[in-house]
Chains A and B, each alone.
Chain A
Amino acid sequence: MNNAGLESSIYEELRGYSEALNRYLIKLKTEPANARFTPPKEVAELIQGLSENFPGEVSMQLLSSGLRERGAFPLVRVKRLRTALDSGASSRETIQDLEELAQYLGRHQAGAFARLRRTR
């Protein structure tokens, strides 16, 4: 009943999303500009989860409530990103949105890891 279980599952979930998101970003940045890519399942799930009010994963709950509190990444932007990813076409704007999301995810991951270290 200590926090380690909760924190490790949050960290692992965030790490999984971060892994997929950063790899996807690398692909978008290094492949030809007109290439079309379907986002990996984890990225699609991340964007979907962020647009839900009550996601099933604890990590997603933290992310989405945090995003909304900050106000910097409002729901309308999440939805715009979702539409862009569904179409498979990448634009400068989409990449910028994904970069901000990856940055935000990284900050949450750092927090989860620090808490995990304290609990172990």
Chain B
Amino acid sequence: MKLTTREGGLEASPRVVIAPPRARPRRLFRSRTAIGFVFTAPLLFLFAAFVVYPMAIGLYYASDPDSYRAIFSDPVFRTTAANTFWYVVVAVNVKLVLAVLLSGVLDYPYWSIRVLAALFLIPWAVPALPGILSFRWMLNSQWGIFNHLLTKFGFASVPWLAQHDTALGAVMVFHIWKYLPFWTIIFLAGRRAIPGELYEAAAIDGGSAVQNFFHVTFPLLRNLYLICTLLSMVFTLGDFTVPWLMTGGAPGDSTHVLATLAYRYTFTMGRLEWGLATFTVALPITLLFIGLLMRWVKI
């Protein structure tokens, strides 16, 4: 027997007709949700234990207005806020501009460039501690290589880590040296995703290398650049390792950033609530960066 539907199509055999769902959608939903919860429970538990709970406790401790009065009245905090601003603005921008430019160099298909790229990755791959300690030795005013070279060529030696500007500059330079390779590789991947036809078309139109960069490469890297900038700002705002190991806030507590100052308040001075208040001051800016980032990548 030929089975047809009212519309004239083939009708399925009664044996293969899928029975209409039982009229218990809410229960089914509940059941599936429950199963989902069971499977995600470990992750939810970890998230609650290591993200939600610490943040809630942190905000609770940081909610005392006296803590804000105390840190805002501390002259070191004001210097620190300015340092953090300059650290983020200068280090992030210099690093990313250099990364975009260097990614162009590493994009050349020569074996020597590949070797160079491998060497270039070393600073990012090595642990921060030996790198920073080496850099500190190089900057030592008595026996550091920089001052040795300066004095060899007749210049006066510079107490690099013993004055505010050069000490903060040293922190920025190390940060850039350390993280530049990572962002360069990101931009290199971005460049490699640009279709070659666009460059061929530009070449037919007589575009120079500079014109290619400004009219083809950079417009297509723009979104990536902005995302990288926001990500790097979030990372740099919370950077503790480089400033702490490089200067420890010296000279005269003038080179602290918010992360190191919070650490100083919490562990040197035993003022947990001040440390958390210091982080909370930076929280709106961090959340703004994260919000912009999420909007940009449409999460």
Q: Tell me if chain B binds chain A.
A: no
Q: Give the interface of B toward A (CB within 8 A).
A: none
